[in-house]
Structure 1
Amino acid sequence: MLSDDDKNLAKILFGLLKTATSQTVVKEFLRTKGIPVSAQNWDDLYEKRIEPALAEKRIAVKDLRDLLQQVEEFGKQHTFLFKCPQDRAEALLNSNRIASIAQAEGLAGLFTNPLDLELPDHPTIVDIRLHRPDPQKQPASLTIKVVESREIRRLHSEERDPDSGEVLRRYATTKKRAVNIVHLDHTGLLEFRIASQDNQAKKYAELLFSLKTKIRKFLPDDGFEEISLRTAKNKIHRDRENLAEEIRYSNSTARNEFGAMMQITSSSTEENLSSDEGSMSALDRFVERNGEVTGANIYVKLPDSDPPRELRLLISGERNEFAVTVACSAGEYEYVRGKVIAFNTSPS
C-alpha cells in the first residue's frame, strides 16, 4: 500500500504531467511497464490505471518524477551556450563543493527530494542533480532546475467606441509553470535552457541574466565565455546542398557592414529553401559582398525515426543562442544540440 505522503506526491506529479505533456506520452510510458492504457480522460487514466499500478508496485512514484523530468526539461527552450577550460569545470563539479553550497543555501534536501511546485511565488531552485556514471570518480555533470510562474495574456474581447473611434481591448491573464535548466558538463560546456515565452514580455537576454543570478553561487560567471555560433550559421548557409540529408532549410537572415539586412523565407513550412536557386543566389551575393549570416531557421532530420520526424531549430538572437521550438525527448534534444556544436566546429 502507498503511504498517504506518496499518494499525495503521486497526485501532484500527475497534475504536473497533465500540464507538461499529452495523454499519448503518458500512455506510452505505461505501455513500457506492461500496464493497460485504455481510459476516457485524464482522471480516468489516473484512477483506473496509474493509481492501481502504484498500489501494486508495478510503477513507483519515482517513475512519475523521472517521466516529468523527461517531458518538461527538453524542447520549447532557448539555449545559451558557454564554455570554460575542462580543469575549471571539474573543480566546479567537485561534489563536496556543491554539497557545501547547497547546505549553506538550505537546498541540501533537493539532491534526494526535489520540490514539486506548480506555480511558485518567485523563481525557485527545485532540483539539483549530480550525474556520476562511476561512483568512484567525480561527477560528470551538474543539472539545476529552476521553476518560475509566468503570466500569460490572451486577447479576450475588443470593443470600438462609435463616437470616439477608440478601441478597448480586454485581456484574460493566466499563470503558467515555466521550467529552466542549467547544465554543466565536465568538458566545460555550460548550457542555460530557458523556457520559451508564450507572450514575449521580456527579452531572452533578460531572462538569462536572472537565471545566471539565481545559480551564481554554484556556477560563478568568471572563467566562462560565450560560444559564438557564427561558424554554424555560415556552414548551414554555405554547405546547404551537402547537408540536405541532415537538415531542411527554411529561413535565413543576413546583415552587411552598412547595417542593411536581407531575409529570405520559404513559401511554406514544408518547402526546402535550398531548392529556390534565385533566392539563394541573391543571398549568396549579399554575403559575398561583406555580408554575414545572422540567423537560420532549419528543420533537423532525426535519424531512425519512423515515421520520419524533424525538429525545428532556430539559430538567431544572441550570438550564443539557439532554440528548439517544440517539445522533444532528451535524446532528440541532445542530437540537435550535437548538430549545432558540430556545425560550429567546422571550418568557416
Structure 2
Amino acid sequence: MVETSKQTLLFNLIREAATLPEAREFLAQNGLPRSASTWNTFFQERVVPALEGGNLKLSDLHQFLRETEEHGRQHVFLYKCSPTTANDLVTTKHLTEALKTIGKEGLLESPAILELPESPELVDARIDSRESKDFLVLKIAETRITRKEAETSSENGRVTKIYDEVKTRATNIVRLSQNGLLELRIASHSTNDAYKAAHDHTLSIISDIINFDSFNEVSLSAIKNRITLADEGELDDILIESKSSIRNGQGNCLTAATGNPTATLKSDKNIKGAIDSFSTDDSYCEHSNFWFIERDGESTPNSPINVVISGHPNEFRLGRKVTMENYEYTLATIWKLNTKVSK
C-alpha cells in the first residue's frame, strides 16, 4: 500500500526540483507512457497507477529527486584526502556505524522527506556506485527565506513597501569518492556572504561521518591559468572563455570580457595580445568564466555548461541547473585540466 502522506510530500519536492520534460523522460526510462502535459497528469494519471500496480516504487521517485535536485545552481568546493582514508570512509559499514551514532540509522532504508525543515538537517546518506567506483553521498536540506515585494504605497511624501517572505527548500551535497576527491556542493544563495556560513554549517552537520582533519583544499589555480593562457586552438574543441581577470605581481589587474557571453576571448586578437603581453611569470588568473561546449559525436555535454572559477582557491560555480551526466562531465573535465600539464 502506498504511503499517501509521504507520496504527496515527495510529489511536491519533485515538482519544485524537476521540469516536465525531465518528468516525461523519467516515465519513458521506467517503461511507462510518457505523455504528461501537466504535473497533475504526471502524478495522478501516470505515477500513482504505476505505484499501485507495482510498476514503480517509491525508491524510483527518490532516485529521480536525487538526480534533479543535486546537480547545478551550486558553488562547489573541492577537497582531497588519501585514497586509503577515503576507502575507510566509503563503506556501508562505516556509514551504518556513523548514522547509528547520531540517531539517523533510518536513512539507511530511505531518505527523509522534508519539505521545509526548521533547521538544516541530514536527509539522505548512501553509498552510490558509478563507473566501477563507490561514493559516499550525504544530503542536507534547509529552508531558505527570500523576500518578494507584494505592495507599495505612498502617503505624505513617504513610500512604504511591504514584502512577503517566500520559503523554499535548498539542498547541500557532500560526495566523497574512493579516490579521495570530495565535493562540497552548496546551493546558490542570493548573497556571497551566506556561503561561508552554509559551508561551515554543512561540515559541522556531517562531522560524525566525515572528519575533515584529513582533507586539504584542491587549488584550481592551474585550470584558471591554463584556460586563460592557452594558445589558440589548444582547448577550442571543448570550451570557450568569455571573461577573465589576471593579476600581476604588482597587484595590477587586467579584465577582459566578450560582448557576447557565448563568444570566446581568443577570437579577438587584440584582447588575446593584451592578455599575452600582460601575463608574466608572476601573474595569475583569479577569475575565469567559460562554457563547456557540445562536441561532435559525443553525448556529453548535451548543452553548453557555464562554469565560473573564482572566489576561494578550491571553488567553482555552476549558475544553472544541469543534468547528472553533464555535472559528471564538468567535474571530470575540470579535474583533468587542473592536473594535466599543458604542453
Considering the TM-score relative to the shorter chain, is it more than 0.5? yes
The code of the aligned residue for 1:56 comes to G
Shift of the 307–290 alpha-carbon distance from structure 1 to 2, 3 Å rule, reads closer
TM-score by length of 1: 0.90
**One-letter identity of the residue aligned with 1:104:** T
2:247 pairs, out of 239, 255, 270, with 255
SS of the equivalent of 1:222 reads: helix
1: CA distance between counterparts of 2:281 and 2:300?
A: 43
Q: Relative to structure 1, is the Cα distance of residues 281 and 132 closer, same or farther in structure 2, using a 3 angstrom cutoff? A: closer
CA deviation string 1:59-102 (max 9, x = no partner) = 22211111111101111111100111111112233433322221
- Equivalent position SS for 1:151: strand
Structure 2 unaligned runs (5+)?
A: none
User: Partner of 1:285 in structure 2?
Assistant: 277
One-letter amino acid matched to 1:142: L
RMSD: 2.4
User: 1:115–1:90: structure 2 CA closer, same or farther, 3 Å change rule?
Assistant: same
Output the CA distance in 2 between the equivalents of 1:307 and 1:292. 28
Q: For 1:144 and 1:306, locate their aligned partners in 2 and report how far apart those are by CA, in whole Å.
A: 25
Aligned to 1:321: 315
8 Å contact 1:10–1:64 — kept in the other structure? no
Counterpart pick for 2:336 among 330, 337, 342: 342
1:239-250 superposed matches below 5 A: 239=230, 241=232, 242-250=234-242
Indicate how the Cα distance of structure 1 residues 167 and 231 shifts in structure 2: closer, same or farther if over 3 A, else same. farther
Answering whether residue 31 of structure 2 is matched by residue 34 of structure 1, we say yes
- Is 1:21 equivalent to 2:18 in the alignment? yes
Q: Number of aligned residue pairs: give it.
A: 339
User: One-letter code of the match for 1:91?
Assistant: D
Structure 1 residues 162, 290: CA separation in 2 closer, same or farther (over 3 Å shift)? farther
Contact 2:91–2:136 (CA under 8 A) maintained in structure 1: no
- Secondary structure, in 3 states, of the residue corresponding to 2:45? helix
Q: Deviations over 1:25-57 (max 9, x none)?
A: 101111223322334421232112221222222
Separation (CA, whole Å) in 2 of partners of 1:305 and 1:161: 59
Label 1:178 to 1:239 Cα distance change in 2 as closer, same or farther (>3 A): same
Equivalent residues in 2 for 1:1-348, closer than 5 Å: 3-5=1-3, 7-131=4-128, 140-157=134-151, 163=157, 168-197=160-189, 199-200=190-191, 202-239=193-230, 241=232, 242-288=234-280, 290-303=282-295, 304-305=298-299, 309-347=303-341
Q: In the TM superposition, what is the alpha-carbon distance from 1:19 to its structure 2 partner?
A: 0.3
Give me the whole-angstrom Cα distance separating, in 1, the residues matched to 2:159 and 2:269: 45
AA paired with 2:223? A
Normalised by the length of structure 2, the TM-score is 0.91
Cα pair 1:17 1:68 within 8 Å, conserved:
yes
Q: Which amino acid aligns with 1:118?
A: E
Q: Using a 3 Å threshold, how does the CA distance of structure 1 residues 98 and 46 change in structure 2: closer, same or farther? A: closer
**Structure 1 stretch displaced more, 83-92 or 251-260:** 251-260
Provide the C-alpha distance between the structure 2 equivalents of 1:247 and 1:161, rounded to a whole number of angstroms.
Answer: 54
Mean Cα displacement is larger for which, 181-190 or 286-295?
286-295
Percent identity between matched residues is: 30
